[in-house]
Amino acid sequence: MIKQSLFVAMLIGLSTLAHADTRAHEKEELARFERFAGAPVDEFKMVELFRSQVVGPENVVVWSTLRDAYLVRVQQPCRQLEWAHGLSVSQAQKWKVSRKFDSINVGTPCRIVEIRPIDLGAMQAEGRKKDAA
């Protein structure tokens, strides 16, 4: 019984550390994307979801193409976003994602409240400068 209790306590401790590391990494990634995010827009064109990256409990980066990414903030609470292994984006209008009508879906819909385009070219240029230094 003592061994079982010790094992459970160890698992809880490890999961807490993993969660803290995940949160720290998400904060770093969010800060990096925010530096290159432009002014909010109402919508963006998307035929299909190319890629996504969760960067916090209310933020996700959505790539609509290889060269077009958007920092999307969703309405809280969106409890499942941070732990989502996959997500989808609703599209009320054909080939568009709108702040007014659409949501990020992670089992339950999380309404989009802000969309900011990310300047991936500037972001990559900064990365190349750091690599060269």
Is this structure's pTM higher than 0.85? no
Q: Angle, nearest 10°, between helix axes 120-132 and 2-35?
A: 110
81-131 per-position pLDDT tens digit: 888 888 999 999 999 999 999 999 998 899 999 999 999 999 989 888 878
23-78 per-position pLDDT tens digit: 788 899 999 999 999 999 999 999 999 999 999 889 999 999 999 999 999 998 88
User: H helices then E strands: how many in the chain?
Assistant: 2, 8
Domain boundaries, the chain: 2-132
Q: What is the SS3 string spanning 67-105?
A: CCEEEEEECCCCCCHHHCCCCEECCCECCEEECCCCEEE
